[in-house]
Amino acid sequence: MNRKIVFGFLLILFVVVLNLKIFSVYLHSRNYIDYRQSKISGVADIISTLDIKTKLASLLMVNFYEDINITVELIEKTKISSFIIMSYNVDSNYERFKKKLNFIKSHSNTLPITFSVDQEGGYVERLSPILGETEVLQKIFLAEGMEGVERIAHKFGKELRELGIDINFSPIIEVIKNPKSVVKDRVFSSNLLSNLIASQRFIDIISSYGVIAVAKHYPGYGTIEKDPHYEICIDKNSYLDELKEPFEKITNIKMIMSSHVIYSRIDNLPGTLSVKVMGYTTNFFDGILITDDLLMDSITLIYDYRLAALRALLAGNDIILLVDKEGDYKKWQQKIENLIDYLYQAYKNGELTEEQIDRSLKKIIYLKFGLY
């Protein structure tokens, strides 16, 4: 009889503790949801304070100049808040370069200023003037396996965070079908599964430092031999089903960069500008889509950069990337202002709606304030 009473008491105690645990999880979940809702309201408040031209400027990412006063002037005139760092921006003196970035960030007059960089390692690493060079990624992966991937990821995560760089345009995860592809030597492995596993580890580690990794280039440059920087690129053979797998499988990713290849079996437009290509991402991704540089010849040999930017937004991209090739500050500033005016006219004409603009802007604000 006593044993039955003890057993019954223990059973009741177990049920009470279990229910308290469930209730605690429920409360935590509710608090999390409330927190997110409050942040969403905050983002809506920020968006409501911005005029249309400032909103449009917030969808652009551009390079900057050696003279930081010129860059500050660009920020004040255009309201740009996202910049990409190129090799020619990088000061040979580490501390001076870090101070330059901090100085530019301190002059934000709308949204927080963010810096991005192509720091893949191996063949593409814009910060090598101050951080030194690393070996080719495939050599590292072949020699050291995942330990090598982890070493590079920790190195880059720490270095970029200390410099105040927010976004790294890496890793390349696309399918490598063509052995002469322009990106075949920039991946960890030409084998899809191996590259995906290595890339996932790289993303997870670099993200732990608060640096945003960008998976690129959807759906890929891995099927073509031509360099999209200098030529129109056409893939006459591939279907989207053959190329989308790594982008569907990768996790812990907040940004995906597009490619400018014309996949003629899918559409007659460069992938970046194609609703059929970019629109498919809604099946597996709700983060930020950023174009590859729209001033690459694979775009400008076909389209005026302003029309390309409009089509890219209408295709579903959230951020337009533009990298100046001429080095003439006055022309560059005018080019940016002309683009904002062009997009503004598209808004006034009803081609680009405020709802579409705000949808992208909301994602960008979430990213800039670290709310993802």
C-alpha to C-alpha distances, 283 to 247, 280, 354, nearest whole angstrom: 11, 6, 23
Long-range contacts of 97-100 (CB under 8 A, 24+ apart): 97/130, 97/163, 98/162, 98/163, 98/164, 100/68
Residue 43 counted as domain residue: no
Range of the domain at 243: 54-368
Domain membership flag for residue 234: yes
Asked, for residue 6, whether it belongs to a domain, the answer is no
CATH of the domain at 159: 3.20.20.300
Q: What is the dihedral of CA 102, 108, 112, 113, to 10 degrees?
A: -60
Residue 149 counted as domain residue: yes
The answer to the question of residue 88 being in a domain is yes
Tokens 């495939």, located at residue: 138
Residue 21 covered by a domain: no
Which segments of 142-297 are extended strands (E)? 167-168, 212-218, 234-235, 255-258, 262-263, 288-290
Global confidence as pTM: 0.88
Residue 195 inside a domain? The answer is yes
- Please say whether the beta carbons of 210 and 168 come within 8 A: no
What's the total number of domains in the chain?
1
DSSP per-residue string spanning 16-68:
HHHHHHHHHHHHHHHHHHHHHHHHHHHHHHHHHTS-HHHHHHTTEEEE--SSH
Please report whether residue 70 resides in a domain. Answer: yes
**pLDDT by residue, tens only, the chain of 372 residues:** 455 554 444 444 443 333 333 333 333 333 232 334 445 458 888 899 999 999 999 999 999 887 888 899 999 999 999 999 998 888 889 999 999 999 999 998 889 999 999 999 999 999 999 999 999 999 999 999 999 999 999 999 999 999 999 999 999 999 999 999 999 999 999 999 999 999 999 999 999 999 999 999 999 999 999 999 999 999 999 999 999 999 999 999 999 999 999 999 999 999 999 999 999 999 999 999 999 999 999 999 999 999 999 999 999 999 999 999 888 888 999 999 999 999 999 999 999 999 999 999 999 999 999 876
